[in-house]
Each structure stands twice: as structure tokens, then as C-alpha cells.
Structure 1
């Protein structure tokens, strides 16, 4: 049985995901500009709608973690089963968010295990959960695991088993950019680019290979090295990078899910006033 705290965590996670969707311009990723484009507007609306379909599954994951009380193999298997059911519900609501569900599900469960913990401690708890194999998972390899094996990339599972290093990097970028006086959207875009600049995105590896992935990483680094999105030079670099990815139809989706994880952890310690300002 779930508690009010479980619902609060789930809603915070979904808010983080929809907050990520609201950012613009996101290079190669869906953003509010798509609402003005006849071809992709329906897709962006579907992503916003289907994000809310994650809520019951995330509530159940938080409740499972709170009931179990520690990062056991049984908890890992229960989270996997809930995740697969949630993927089905999200598909019926419009699809998407598979990577975000993996990251947010583990982080929500870890937060329920460690209520009030600092983001680094929550990430460590998620690492302990992810360390256990899911013995009930389908035996057929996923596309992400096949790509990880082919190229030696960490992939979503490796990211979790390492304690979400890119989520922690995004949190560091958020803090640094805010302290430098940037607006909240600028801080979030810089955090996204920070993830994008080093993440071995298995979706990109599958669609465009290692060379394409390196080009995407270099483009993200170029924006940050130009001063980030709070500077005129950084905004010009972002505009060029964004246009290039859209022309090529390259989509670094893995970075978006990890940014959502960072925004979720950030929201747990943010004062109410700053959350309202960011909305």
C-alpha cells in the first residue's frame, strides 16, 4: 500500500520530466517549438501526456522500496516488474520516456529508501539497487544492451550501476551556472549539454555510430566552451548545434532522461520559491 510520501515523490519525478520537455532550444530533442510544427506537434503533445502515465508506476516503485527497506535482489526484481507494466501503460498513452523511466524509477525508489538524503547518497542507494540482476527480466537482449556490448558503452544499466555519474555531473552544472547568475532555463540547458558532451548515448551509437556520437559530444562541448547559454557566443553556438542536429535528424535521447533524473534530485532540496520560479 502506498503512502502520501510515495505520491509526492512520483509527482516530483513527473514534474522533472515535464520540466525537461519544456526547455528550449534542446538540440535534436523535442521541445515546445514542435507545437508550431504540423509534422511534430502531435508527437510533443503525446510526450507531455504520456509523461503523466508514469505516475502510478513511480508511486508503486516508491512504495515497494519503502516496504522492503533496503536494496535487496527482491526489490530489484519488483522494480523491474513494475517498470515493464509501466512501459505498457506509457505506450498506450502515447509512448516514449523509456530511458527516463529507468533513471527516475531507480532514483525514486532510492529516495524512498533514504528519505531526506543528499543527492549523492540517493545516487549511491540507486547504485546498490542496480547492482542486483533482474532475474525475472525477459531473456532476449534489449537494443541498448546489444549496442553496449558491441561498442563497450556503459549504457543505461552501466550508468545506474556506476551511481548515475552523469546525473551528478548535471547537478554540478546546475549549481555552477546558477551561482554565476544564469537564469533557470539557461542553467538547465547547460546541464543538458554537460551530460551530452560525455555520455555514451546508446541510441546515438545505434543510429549513427561512434563517429556521429563524437560529433554530437563535440558540438555540446563547443557550446559550453563558448561560455554556455548565458552568453551571446554560447547562444549562437547552441543555435548552430541545434540546427545541425535537426537537419541530420540526430536525437541524443539518453541525455534528456538523465537531465530529468538530475532535475528530480534537485527538486527534493530546492526551496519552494525556486521551484515556482523554474516552472
Structure 2
């Protein structure tokens, strides 16, 4: 049974995910502008609705971690079982968020291991959890793992086992952009673009191939090099990238889930925030 602390962590993670969904304009990704487009409103609306279905599973992950008290193979197996059950629940609620579920699940469980842990400690504990094999995982490779093997990309599993480097980079980008005077929304968009600029997104590799992936990465870097979304030049570059990706129907979905992880770390008590190595 989950405690109030577990439910608070789960709600913080869901709030991070819905906060990511609320950002606009997100190049190639669903955002509130879709609500005005008849063909896309169901997509964005269902994503907002199904995000709430993650809460019970994330609370159960936090409870399992709190009960176990340390990263162990047994806890990893329990998190895997809870995650697969939550995937089913989210599917019934409209689907989506698979990458975000696992990123947030590891981070929520890691945060539950130590209530005093800051962002750096949470990321390190999540890395230790992800290092264990999930013996209950399906033997059939997923599309993401197949694409990872084909192109040598880290994929979701590699990202977790490396301690979520792109989540940490996004977290640093958030704090850096805010310190330079960016608004909260601008800082979050800069954090998303920071992830997009280097992530080997398996969704993009599947739909656009290596050349398409590099095109998206270069576009994201172009926005940041123009000064980020707090500048006029950066906003113009973002608008061009957004139009380009929507026209090509290319979606950097992996980056969106990792941004949600960074927003969750950012929700931890301010006094626990430390620079991520």
C-alpha cells in the first residue's frame, strides 16, 4: 500500500508529464495548439487524459522502493512488473507515454529510496536500479530495442543504465536558462531542445533514419545557437523547425519523455538541488 509520500512523488511525476504536454510550440510534438485543429485534438487531449493513469503505478513503484530501502535485483523485478501493468492501464486510458513511464518510474523509485536525496543522488540511484536485469521482461524485442541494435543507439535502456544523461542535461539547461532571465516556459523549451540536439531518438531513427535524426539535431542546435527561445532570433528558428518537423511528420517523442524526467527532478525541494555531474 502506498503512503502519502509515495502518492506525492507520483503526482509530482504526473505534473511533470502534463507540464511537458502544456509547452508550445514543441517541434513535431503534440501541444495545446492541437486543440484548435480538429484532426489532432484527440491526440493531445487523450495524452493529457492518459497521463493521469500513470499515477497509481508510479505510487506503487515509490512504495516498493520505500519498502525495499535500496537498489536490489528484487526491487528491479518488482518495478518491471508494476510498469508493465501500468502500461496496460495507460493503454486503456488512451495510450502513449511509454518512454515517460519508465523514465519517471525509475526516477520516482529512486527518489523514494531517500526522501532527502537531491537531483544528482536521484539520478545516481536510478542508474543503479536500471543496471539490474529485469528477468520478467518479455523476450520478444521491442521496436525501440530493435532500432537501437540496428543503429547502435543507446535507446531507453541505455539512457537509464547511463544514469539518464539527457535528463541531467535538460535539468542543467533549465537552471541555466532561468538564471539568464528566461521565463519558465522558455527555459523548458530550451531544455527540450537541449535533449533533441544530441539524443539518438529511436522514434526518429525509425521514421526518418540517421540522416533525418541528424537533421533534427542540427535544427535544435540552431535554435540554441541563435540564443534560445528567450531571444527573437531563437524564436524564429524554433518556428521554422516546428513547421519543418510537422510538415515531415517527424516526432522526437523520446526527447519529450526525458524532458518530463527533468521536470520531475526540478520539482524536488530546492534545498536538495545540486549541480549534476
TM-score normalised by structure 2 residue count = 0.97
Match of 2:14 in 1: 14
Does structure 2 retain, via aligned residues, the 8 Å contact 1:177–1:187? yes
Match of 2:274 in 1: none
Distance 1:173 1:143 in 2: 30
Deviation by residue 1:179-203 (Cα, 9 ceiling, x = unmatched):
0011000000000000000000011
Distance 1:114 1:216 in 2: 38
Deviation by residue 1:56-103 (Cα, 9 ceiling, x = unmatched):
000000000001111101111100000000000000000000000010
Match of 1:186 in 2: 186
RMSD: 0.8
The reply on whether 1:249 has 2:249 as its aligned counterpart is yes
Report 1:57-96 matches (<5 A).
57-96=57-96
Does structure 2 retain, via aligned residues, the 8 Å contact 1:114–1:125? no
Shift of 1:270: 4.2
The size of the alignment, in residue pairs, is 271
Deviation by residue 1:84-143 (Cα, 9 ceiling, x = unmatched):
000000000000000000100000000001222110110000000000000011110111
The reply on whether 1:226 has 2:226 as its aligned counterpart is yes
SS at match of 1:207: helix
Distance 1:171 1:42 in 2: 30
Shift of 1:269: 2.5
Deviation by residue 1:216-275 (Cα, 9 ceiling, x = unmatched):
00000000000000000000000000000000000000000000000001011249xxxx
Distance 1:98 1:34 in 2: 21
Distance 1:10 1:42 in 2: 25
